[in-house]
Structure 1
Amino acid sequence: MSSNELYGVIPPSIGRLRRLQTLDMGNNMLSGMFPANLSFCTSLKTLILHYNQLKGQIPVDIGNTLTHLQRISLMNNTFTGLIPVSLANLSSLSAVSLKENWLHGPIPDSLGKLSSLQFLNFESNGLSGIIPPSLYNLSSLVNFAVGGNKLHGNIPADIGDKFPTIQEFSLGDNQFSGVIPSSISNLTTLTGLWLSINRFSGFVPPNLGRLQYLVRLFLHETNVEANDREGWEFITSMANCSQLATLLIANNSFSGRLPNSIVNLSTTLEYLYLGYNNITGYIPSDIGNLVGLSVLEIEHTFMSGLIPESIGKLVNLVQLYLENNSFSGLIPPSIGNLTQLEWLLAPNNNLQGPIPANIGALKSLQILNMSMNYNLNGSIPKEVLGLNSLSSYLDLSYNSFSGPIPSEIGGLHNLNKLVLSGNHFSGEIPASIGNCVVLEFLLLDRNSFEGSMPRSLGDIKGLRVLNLTMNKFSGELPDTLGSMRGLEELYLAQNNFSGPIPSVIQDLTMLSKMDVSFNNLQGRQKDQEPPMLIEEKYQRVSYNSLSVGTDGFLEANLLGKGRYGAVYKCTMDDDGTGKSVAVKVFNLQQSGSSRSFDLECEALRMVRHRSLIKIITCCSGIDPKGQDFKALVFEFMPNGSLEGWIHPRSEELTSSNTLSLGQRLDIAVNVVDAIDYLHNHSEPPIIHCDIKPSNILLAGDMSARVGDFGISKILGEKRISNQNSSNSTVGLRGTIGYVAPEYGEGSAVSTGGDVYSLGILLLEMFTGRSPTDDMFRDSLDLHKFVEDALGKKTLEIADSTIWLHAEPKDDTASNRIKECLVSIFRIGISCSKQQSRDRILIRDAAVEIHAVRDEYLMFSTYEYLTYSETMDNQGRR
């Protein structure tokens, strides 16, 4: 009765079938408990109830009642409780599968008595403890699978003497440790070996090539190692594995040069994963020997050099991952021979020159990502824009592409995401872009586009994010924007748009973020901030208004205290609106506070940026006691400071009082944009001098504002580089833990000091560890802590509260999250180098953080859409 659409409970009358020997009701939608009356079917030899929705416990006496059972499969249900010890009484049992349930507890030691057992599969449960030694005596086992549990312990050193007929041995995704014993190479009947996602150490046995029938080897994320002296021998020996189809050794501690002998592996090899290691050297020039490859993954390593021309011989390749390495030179034209290719990802390398036009021959290509190479140039080949197979995304952002976008862009009828940010594109956006009717993300920011926004954009009804920031667009905004009913984010800042903001924009119910600043547009935008009132004269509000609004500066309204004063929540009722603001009252008895007031007024008078705290007005007068009184009035930030979110004081941590990975990335983008603006776009440039979590304030939508300019430095020069410094104000300036090392040595303040503070802030945001944590002493600091863990322990050092928001659904999601964290940590490390001259420029940090956030946003959306589609399909089924 298998593979129908049966539902409901299994009827108890099944217990009348006393002579029933085989019951197969697998692959249905049956629910309820394990049928109790089944115990009366005493002749049963085969019981198959897998792939249903059964729940509850497996009867503890199943082995005492169904004594003739030979095969039992209950996998892919939701059974709970322990594995019944009575299974050990089924002396004729040859196969048992309890895979993918919710079982917990230990594996019963008594199962070692099942001398006829050939297939044992307990994968994907919550089992704990060690593998009972008695199970290693089951010499008849052909398949032994306990992966995906919480088991621990070592693999016995004499494992090679235990299972003379074993074909599949699966221990993956557990907590096993110790070395992988060399005797495992004696299991010469093995076809599949799963050891991935464990805590092994040492080297891979060098003689794995003895497993001549091996088809699948999973060693990713096992913490094994290799270097230029030893550890790579297993690759050379595996040339003897003539049937090898899958080799996964990613996410380990492999270092040194990738051995050339890897090209001698079997031509049957389909899947080769090498990424997330510390491998150096080049891709071997004869990589084209591996003609059977379907997936080649070499991402997040330290490999460099050219992509070899022979890669064009891999004509069966479907997915090619080369991202986050140091590959250089031209993209080889031979890549156009890979006509089966669906995914081509090579972002964050040092590739240069044009994109070969013959990539247009890849008629199956769905994803093309060449972002963040910086030196790829020329125009987009028309042939690439003719690939109507491109559906997931086309990302050429943060390169040096130039010229206009060809009108052939309209041929991308199936494309979901188009990202061309951070290039030198110019000219007008062709009207044909309106033919890209399924676009959801269109990111064209940081280019030199000009002319008006094409009305045809309104034809892209499903557009969710539109970013045209930092271009040269002009003219009025078209009212066709109102037809984008699904638009969620609209960024048009730093252009030359003019005229009224179309009223239809106000009707876009999904729109949650909009930035049209630095234009000359008329009318209020959604959630527009109140205009800045401060000018040369400081006095704008009376002491009495502030006193009344804070209930006499009552402690209950105190938001926080700083070096030079205190901040209160204040209700301004002069206009009858009862609007909440924040009032920073300066303690003029504190030395330097009056100068801090003047500095902050002067700095905030000259700047205006969406990620800087907005000043509304100020007060400089006399209090009722005749004492000088100075205060600044800011927009109120209902979510407080970043400090309280990355170091929450609540005893119970939940998703409502901590930050998700996406929120942290958005905040990081806001902060780096603000600093980039202060250093490179403000006239004159301003150095903040005190970047730290308590000075990052969060609005109602969790967007960030940089505040507290009380010790900032306003520079006289028009532009300064990261290495240059101001010619005055030497000495320690900032907060311990975030202050640049050179300040402690008496160096003048510089933009490099802000970059250092930003780096520490980023590392703190994503690890959850303060730079002044007690664990950091002697030579260990936050920078070194992250640098030492980068790669193999990235997920371990990440702030654990991130997982309160969303656990990765699968290995792909986990790897993408790790990839994102690695990229952010690398930026933080680059910013917080000891020497100022070694630090990344803030404009480059801004480019990289935007790219990381955008990539994560696209992946998260793609994952959500895929999950939703899957759930929808299941619902229809």
Structure 2
Amino acid sequence: MVSLPFILLLFAVLQAPSSSLHSKSGDREALLQFKEGLSDPLGSLSSWNNSNADFCRWAGVTCSRRHPGRVVALSLPSRGLGGTISPTIGNLTTLRKLDLGSNMFSGEVPHTIGQLHRLRELVIENCSLDGEIPQELGNCSNLKVLSLATNQLQGRIPDALGSASRLQYLYLTYNNLVGGIPPSIGNLSLLVLLSFYQNNMDGTIPEVLSHLNHLQHIQVARNNFSGTIPPLFFNISSLQILGFGSNKLQGSIPPDAGANLPILKELHLGNNRLSGMVPSSLANATDIEVLSLARNNFQGMVPSEIGKLCPRRVELGGNRLEAKDEEDWEFMRSFTNCTRLQLLDLNNNNIGGILPGYVANFSRQIQWLSMAGNKISGVIPPGIGNLASLVDLEFAGNNLQGVIPEDIGRLQNLMLLWLQENRLSGRIPFSFGNFTQMLTLALSHNQLDGSIPKRLGNLKRLTSLDLSYNRLTGVIPDEIFTLSSLTDFLSLSGNYLSGVLPPHAGSLKHVARLDISRNNLSGNIPEALSDCENLVYLTLDGNFLTGSIPKSLGNLKALSILNLSRNAFSSNIPRELGKITGLQQLYLAHNNLSGSIPLILGNLSSLIELDISYNHLDGEVPSLGVFANLTRLSVLGNDGLCGGIPELKLPSCYVKPHNKQRQQLLLIILLPVGLIVTSLFLLCSLLFLFKGKITVGKMKISSFQKIDEKYPRVSYNELFHATDGFAPANLIGAGKYGSVFKGNLSLSASSNDATVAIKVFNFHQSGSSRSFMAELEVLRQVKHRNLINIITSCSSIDSRGNDFHAIVFKFMPNYSLDKWLHPAADEQWHKLSFVQLLNIAVQVADALDYLHNNSQPSIIHCDMKPSNIILGSDWTAYVADFGISKLVGESMDRYMSNSGNSLGIRGTIGYVAPEYGEGGQVSAAGDSYSFGITLLEMFTGRAPTDDMFTEGLSLHLFADMAFPDKISEIIDPSLLQPFDNDARLDTALACITSAIRVGISCSKKAPLERMSMKNAAVELHRTRDSVLEEYFAR
């Protein structure tokens, strides 16, 4: 009888071939099912078919030698495969390696992969997988490499992953994972590399990870981790890369951080909230190649020991690191011996002192050198051209002086050059034409002069060019406008450039921002400018451009901001501007525009800011869109406007009567008017025959007004010839109501011609006649050493039969204060000293005090500003322009009626008292405000309309925030440059501080809180007499 064990053994032997056959067919079936779920546009799996029975020869499939027919590896990286990964992949139970990386898979990671207990490598990176990481992966107890990087995985890292005890490499970078790092990861004692880079994880970094003694690379940057860095991480002697950058980590680096990191190559702690000192012990990590501590709150000096390292990259920017003298810069000296240095970033710290010349001796391998945003002085080293590999050079936002060295042009690989916001002077080097690789060139806010080199046209790759706010003169070279590579911006604003915009300005088809404001450009805007179809920001304000605004600007569909204010444009506002559907801000103020406001502008839903003030517009103001928001709309200085929202306080518009009523009204009016006109014609004919006052073809004097009998009468013809026909070459100033010309006029029969200033009132400007009469009335009644003296006047008819009004003054050779504070391109005048400015301030205060308190009747000037302060040959200041003044206590209705519209707001934007804009009464406090703003402008060098004063910041607030401890940071730097010792400097600063205090007190928002002009004059006299006496005694 056969025993039971024998039977069982025989059954097992007979079954073995059958089981092996089943496993082989199972692997083949699993592969075919895997293929069914895929798309294969490249035919990578063309060999996977029934005609090829040996699936071990299929592409990407590797079978076991020990167990033939069993799949041990499936490797299909970068095959262009798409679709989802079939769960049947979990049936390949002998699989040791699965690499499906760099394909186009979607869907989730199959949970069935957790059945692959023999799996050692799982790589499904750089696909588009989503969903969560299966916790079943923790069952893969032999797994050594797990990479699911660069997908769209979500959720938390499963705790179960800590059960994959043999895991050495864990890559989960570039996903959307959330939550914290599971403490169970600390169980992976064999872990060599751990990377959660670029996810949305948060929480603290578990201290248990610092016990992973085999760890060589940890990278958890670009997440939201907070708390402190566990100190024991700096004791992992096997570490080569420590990457905790771009999180929210706080605390400090341990003082001995570098003592136990002998093979550390990269330390990434940048862009956190770390503080304290940079440890000198980091110098012990002698193999370090990348030291990144940028954008934290580290402070103090950079340890000199750091200079003993020789890294490729040193990133210390965006901290509060300091240096004051040569000794503090010592850490950099050693870098001159570091031949592999490629990047040095020290930008945005508190580093001061003189820039060492040995910077030019750095490695010729250095590509990026940045020291921007510090307090570094001195000059750019002449040998900077030795750094031949430089790609990025940043010295912006310092106190560097002197010229830009010519040899900088040797840096022919340079792509980014940032030198803006320094005190660099001289010309733009001719050698800049060698920068053929340049992408961004920024030289703004310096003191560069001369013309723009034509050779900048060689920079054919340039995307951004910023030369704004320098002292550049001459014509803009045509070559600049042919730089079709410009895509970001071209900014030439705030210079003294002249000439016209050429037609080929339209070649800048790709530029997004074009800013040539605040120059001396003339002529028309070329129609071709509308070819710049990508323009988002176009600013040409503050020039002398003329003609009409081109209708073709309406074709600039991408335009968001258009500023053409402060020019001499005429004609109508083109309704085509209403076609720019994305237009947000439109500024057309201070031009000679006429006609009505296009209704279509009110339909622009995007338009949030509109300034059309001080033109000659008339008709009804729309009420829709931006016209319904008083805080975003300015229509001041347009006599003919009516209607609009009630808050504008404009007169109602005339409503035309119906036809029948109109015919009756015309009959009633025209009959008597016709009789009167006929009678006047007959009377004038008789006068012509018998009196001979008017000769055809030749204009004689029709009337005049003479202020002083010792001067003869003056006619229109005499003034015409005195100014060479009111030639533009003799124009020395212009305002709302008229222009001022320089002329040569004989004031008596026995005297030679004298140079005079002739103010000619603009008959086109409504209200100019009233302004003429108001100014005459004031000047007749005042007499003060600091008020402009009138010689005579003329009220006549010009050669075209139009009304002509003019006032003749003594000519002042130093023109207005405004020209000295903000000189134009062709006026290279020196800066006024603080002593001269203080004297001017005292004299103007005296004049206003006289007008307010000693004149009968009292007079409110209403338009105090630098352009209305005239300077004599001995620098005596004279207050001028009384065209909108108000005599207090005496009706001025016959000269300047206030109809209640926007013209009732007297003054100039930036200088006018706030209460005037709210309909408040004219008062002496309004003059105090304007004087205070003028005083602040004199000593800071900044006009109240400066571009920096936006979003609630004003010149008054700018000064008030700095007073008194930070006054030196806001005043015009040129005021303190001449002083050769600290005592004189301190005295000058005290004097300026005192003057600014008066300016702040005068320009307070509430009228009752402002200092009166009497007290302001007393304070300024006291400042000048006491402080300057002390100054000159030294």
Instruction: Provide the TM-score with structure 1 as the length reference.
Output: 0.64
| 1:616-695 correspondence to structure 2 within 5 Å | 680=867, 683-684=883-884
Map residues 835-850 of structure 1 onto 2, 5 A cutoff: 835-836=994-995
Q: Does 1:272 align with 2:431?
A: no
Structure-2 residue corresponding to 1:342: 439
Shift of 1:355: 0.4
Question: Hey, what's the Cα distance between the residues in 2 that align with 1:457 and 1:771?
Answer: 36
The aligned runs of 1:92-241 (5 Å cut-off) are 92-212=190-310, 214-241=311-338
Paired with 1:195 and 1:273, the residues of 2 have a C-alpha distance of 15
Give 3-state SS (helix, strand or coil) of 2:113's partner.
Answer: helix
Aligned to 2:514: 418
Cα distance change on mapping 1:37 and 1:705 into 2, 3 Å: farther
Aligned counterpart, 1:74: 172
What is the one-letter code of the residue matched to 1:363? K
> How much has 1:310 moved relative to structure 2?
1.1
Q: 1:232 to 1:50 in 2, by over 3 A?
A: same
1:43 aligns with 2:142: yes
1:95–1:516 Cα change, 3 Å:
same
Aligned to 1:668: none
CA distance in 1, matches of 2:399, 2:233: 42
Question: How big is the shift at 1:322?
Answer: 1.1
Q: 1:507: Cα distance to partner?
A: 4.7
CA–CA separation in structure 1 for the residues paired with 2:285 and 2:636: 79
Per the alignment, in what secondary structure is the counterpart of residue 220 of structure 1?
coil
- Preserved contact between residue 23 and residue 48 of structure 1 (Cα < 8 Å): yes
- The structure-2 alpha-carbon separation of the partners of 1:298 and 1:840, relative to structure 1 and needing over 3 Å to count, comes to farther
Cross-structure match for 2:3: none
- Residue 696 and residue 173 in structure 1: after superposition, are their counterparts in 2 closer, same or farther (change >3 A)? farther
* Equivalent in the alignment of 1:4: 103
How far off its partner does 1:392 sit? Answer: 1.2
Tell me, yes or no, if the aligned pair for 1:210 and 1:240 is still in contact at 8 Å: no
1:248 aligns with 2:345: yes
- For residue 66 of structure 1, report the CA deviation from its aligned partner: 0.8
* Partner deviation per Cα, 1:104-124 (whole Å, 9 max, x = no partner): 333222223222111011212
Match of 2:320, SS state, is coil
Select 2:499's aligned residue among 397, 403, 407.
Answer: 403
**Letter matched to residue 208 of structure 2:** S
The answer on 1:21 being equivalent to 2:120 is yes
SS at match of 2:385: helix
**1:299 aligned onto 2:399:** no
* Alpha carbons of structure 1 residues 465 and 112: separation in structure 2 relative to 1, 3 Å: closer
User: Which residue is equivalent to 2:773?
Assistant: none
User: What is aligned with 1:546?
Assistant: none
201-210 or 309-318, which deviates more: 201-210
Structure 1 residues 253-285: Cα deviation after superposition (integer angstroms, max 9, x where no partner): 110101111111111111111111011111111
Q: In structure 2, what is the Cα distance between the partners aligned to 1:409 and 1:206?
A: 53
Task: Classify 1:755/1:476 alpha carbon distance in 2 versus 1 (closer, same or farther; 3 Å).
Answer: closer
**Deviation readout 1:195-238 (Å, 9 max, x if unpaired):** 112222221122434323x1111000221111124210111110
Give unmatched runs, 5+ long, in structure 2. 1-99, 638-645, 654-861, 869-880, 887-904, 971-988, 1001-1034
Counting only pairs closer than 5 Å after superposition, residues 380-779 of structure 1 correspond to structure 2 as: 380-527=476-623, 528=627, 680=867, 683-684=883-884, 712-713=924-925
Which protein is richer in strand relative to its size? 1
Q: Is the 8 A contact 1:207 1:237 kept in 2?
A: no
Q: Is the 8 A contact 1:756 1:833 kept in 2?
A: no
Query: What displacement does 1:708 show?
Result: 5.5
- Cα distance change, pair 239–787 in 1 and its aligned pair in 2 (3 A): farther
Deviations 1:317-360 (Å, cap 9, x if unpaired)? Answer: 11111111111111111111111001111111111111001001
Quote the Cα distance in structure 1 between the aligned partners of 2:221 and 2:599. 58
Alpha carbons of 1:6 and 1:840: their partners in 2 closer, same or farther (altered >3 Å)?
Answer: farther
1:684 and 1:714 in contact (8 A); partners too: no
Residues 3 and 832 (structure 1 numbering): CA distance in 2 closer, same or farther, change over 3 Å? farther
Q: Distance in 1 between matches of 2:997 and 2:466?
A: 29
Give the direction of change, closer, same or farther, for the CA distance of 1:281–1:396 in structure 2 (3 Å limit): same
CA contact (8 A) 1:755 1:839 kept: no
Distance 1:684 1:712 in 2: 14
Q: 1:274 to 1:784 in 2, by over 3 A?
A: farther
Deviation at 1:782, TM superposition (A): 5.0
State whether residues 865 and 934 of structure 2, in contact with CA within 8 Å, keep that contact through their aligned partners in structure 1: no
User: Aligned in 2, Cα 1:831/1:85: closer, same or farther, shift over 3 Å?
Assistant: farther
Structure 2: distance between partners of 1:755 and 1:473: 26
Q: Against the structure 1 CA distance between its residues 455 and 47, is the aligned structure 2 distance closer, same or farther, given a 3 Å change threshold?
A: same
Query: In structure 1, the residue corresponding to 2:522 is in which secondary structure?
Result: strand
How big is each residue's C-alpha offset from its partner over 1:671-690, in whole Å with a ceiling of 9 and x where there is no partner?
Answer: xxxx999665884589999x
- 1:389-414 deviations in Å (ceiling 9; x for gaps): 11111111111111111222122122
Q: Which has the higher mean CA deviation after the structures are superposed, 144-153 or 498-507?
A: 498-507
Change (3 A) 1:526 1:166: farther
Equivalent residue for 2:380, pick from 283, 291, 314: 283
Q: Structure 1 179/514 Cα, relative in aligned 2: closer, same or farther at 3 Å?
A: closer
**Following TM superposition, by how much is the alpha carbon of 1:705 offset from its aligned partner in structure 2, in angstroms?**
6.0
Secondary structure at 2:122's aligned position in 1? strand
Higher gyration radius (CA): 2
**2:213 aligned with 1:54:** no
Kindly provide the amino acid, as one letter, of the partner of residue 59 in structure 1: P
Partners of 1:771 and 1:285 in 2: CA distance: 38
Deviation per residue, 1:494-549 (Å, 9 max, x gap): 211223444554554433333333222344354448999999xxxxxxxxxxxxx9
Question: Percent identity among equivalent residues?
Answer: 36
Q: SS of the residue aligned with 2:369?
A: strand
User: 2:512 and 2:459 mapped to 1: Cα distance?
Assistant: 18
Letter in 2 for 1:517: S
In the TM superposition, residue 291 of structure 1 has moved relative to its aligned partner by 1.1
Matched with 1:744 is none
Counterpart CA distance in 1 for 2:573 and 2:634 is 24
How far did 1:459 drift? 3.5
> Could you tell me whether the CA contact under 8 Å between 2:932 and 2:998 is conserved in 1?
no
Residue identity matched to 1:57: R
Paired with 2:953 and 2:203, the residues of 1 have a C-alpha distance of 34
TM-score (ref. length: structure 2): 0.55
Structure 1 residues 126-135 or 375-384, which shifts more? 126-135
- Count of residue pairs brought into register by the alignment: 629
RMSD of the alignment, in Å? Answer: 4.5
Counterpart CA distance in 2 for 1:143 and 1:31 is 29
Q: Is the Cα contact below 8 Å between 2:612 and 2:634 reproduced in 1?
A: no
Q: Which amino acid aligns with 2:244?
A: V
- Is contact 1:404-1:426 (8 Å) kept? yes
Aligned partners of 1:534, 1:430: CA distance in 2, in Å? 29
Residue in 2 that maps onto 1:310: 407
Distance 2:177 2:413 in 1: 42
Mapped contact 1:391–1:414 kept (Cα < 8 A): yes
Aligned-partner SS, 1:421: coil
Maintained 8 Å contact 2:326/2:354: no
In structure 1, the residue matched to 2:359 is: 262
